[in-house]
Structure 1
């Protein structure tokens, strides 16, 4: 039997700070990585995920973001870098370049176009192309049940989990029953592959069902309650886990549960700006910043999570 994956713990999926002109604020990004890497319980990072605006960020910028995060981590924790590119050949070239920069693992995102049409054979061919171009660890992405065919059928996810060098799944089904179905499908054929919760609104439930950790953007905003939650569940202390979840739930609902859900990434940046971590909440056009009428909701949720706000 293959050795269990070494990927465990909390991996914040990082939003990318931008300067006022819309370009990457590399100094702010490096400081954020440095600060979070010092926390006991943060075991790595994901950059260039959905929260990092990988759909709209140019690939050259994405490589620069990866370089900055890798340099800032300075070997203390590994950096997972997302690849969200629809053309298999281009995705493979991009993944190889990121690995050369020092990415500890490549996460293969399902391109948005798969939401309209998803041929399982093409999905597997896309993953094979990236695996052929790289040498290190690879992670899978399981999309939300609300994103059409971007969410892999459990049988397809199970086949992908058996590919060589696949070490983990970022399970973002965003629905408890689907999370359990994904976990059971993967563990039945590849028990060594880590299945890590990514549904920020049901991290408690995912952890109780079973999870090797969490790869979540919420951990970039308020990491400590998530670290505490996973530690409490692992220790069998459900009272402490519920207390941690009581801190997580309001901010998770404010960012991800409030309509329209498409504002979640902007809300993440607004929360980081409210905390004084980011100087501003600029988004890559055409995505707009969080409208002012939502700010009070986010401030209240941050306070409930135990975070100090910038004066």
Structure 2
């Protein structure tokens, strides 16, 4: 199972959003339509559901399970990785088992938000061990941005986590190219078969030049053809074409992820999809707020620049 999962991790995996109704409940039909359309794009190798773009921090366990079940109905053969995100290790383990039973092929374990303030390394090992013991399939690490405090695992802790055979890959989101390359080299020195997915949406070109197995990125849920174009050009070693794709992508990545205030990506992703006519509403659950007029204008300009 792990070998097949690893093979299928190569390439571009779209981190999808979760459409909401006016009462903030999940719009099942819109979710299935979104997932089906993204997954149907040539070159999309799989999906990341219940990630940050999917508002996993405000969904209940039952809602996360429903997201997986609804996806399985419309994309039965597509590789699905589900995020696992809980402050409680016991809840994370129960959630992981339920998501796997609902049809997730693999699990991406997000660090609890409280870890941004610090933690004992053994607590991180215990958190992942409880999830491992509650499940049977492959597990992925989340490499948090270096700006997220202690959430970004230091080298010795990362090595301890990667020593677990069931942990087979990392969504590497250091969001800084030097940290990305250092983690890539360390992990491959320790385990040559370990899959490192360069997944900082602003830095895909640089990560692809350094080397990567693929990406799990939310930009691939908005402009999937363009992200696939960048990936295909990089794989072919056509760096002129890759740079051209990057130039189209970069302003959109900045408008979604970098422009302040921080933590606005999920709202802005939904607004992009609404502007493109692929979503009826960009409603997002509190405490997140809808995109402002200034954000919307910046996203419209960036989408136009991308040719979307």
Instruction: Check the 8 A contact 1:171/1:198 in 2, yes or no.
Output: yes
Instruction: Check the 8 A contact 2:42/2:225 in 1, yes or no.
Output: no
Tell me how far apart the structure 2 counterparts of residues 175 and 126 of structure 1 sit (CA, whole Å). 26
Tell me how far apart the structure 1 counterparts of residues 52 and 63 of structure 2 sit (CA, whole Å). 15
2:132 alignment counterpart: 131
3-state DSSP of counterpart to 1:262: coil
Task: Tell me the C-alpha RMSD between the 2 structures.
Answer: 1.3
Structure 1 residue ranges without an equivalent (≥5): none
Tell me how far apart the structure 2 counterparts of residues 82 and 55 of structure 1 sit (CA, whole Å). 10
Q: TM-score, normalised by structure 2?
A: 0.96
In the TM superposition, structure 1's runs of 4+ consecutive aligned residues that sit over 3 Å from their partners are none
Q: Does 1:57 align with 2:59?
A: yes
1:148 alignment counterpart: 149
Which runs of structure 2 are paired with 1:195-210 in the superposition (5 Å)?
A: 195-210=196-211
Which runs of structure 2 are paired with 1:193-272 in the superposition (5 Å)?
A: 193-272=194-273
Which runs of structure 2 are paired with 1:1-311 in the superposition (5 Å)?
A: 5-6=6-7, 7-75=9-77, 77-307=78-308
Instruction: Check the 8 A contact 2:45/2:79 in 1, yes or no.
Output: yes
3-state DSSP of counterpart to 2:288: coil
Query: Per-residue deviation at 1:158?
Result: 2.2
Greater shift in the superposed pair: 87-96 or 157-166: 157-166
Instruction: Check the 8 A contact 1:57/1:284 in 2, yes or no.
Output: no
Instruction: Check the 8 A contact 1:155/1:185 in 2, yes or no.
Output: no
Greater shift in the superposed pair: 157-166 or 19-28: 157-166
3-state DSSP of counterpart to 2:93: helix
Tell me how far apart the structure 2 counterparts of residues 118 and 188 of structure 1 sit (CA, whole Å). 26
Query: Per-residue deviation at 1:154?
Result: 2.2
Q: TM-score, normalised by structure 1?
A: 0.95
Q: Provide, for residues 30-65 of structure 1, a one-character-per-residue CA deviation record: whole Å limited to 9, x for no partner.
A: 111111111221011111111111111122111111
The aligned length equals 305
Instruction: Check the 8 A contact 1:15/1:51 in 2, yes or no.
Output: yes
Tell me how far apart the structure 1 counterparts of residues 3 and 82 of structure 2 sit (CA, whole Å). 23
Tell me how far apart the structure 1 counterparts of residues 188 and 241 of structure 2 sit (CA, whole Å). 27
Instruction: Check the 8 A contact 1:271/1:299 in 2, yes or no.
Output: yes
Query: Per-residue deviation at 1:162?
Result: 2.2
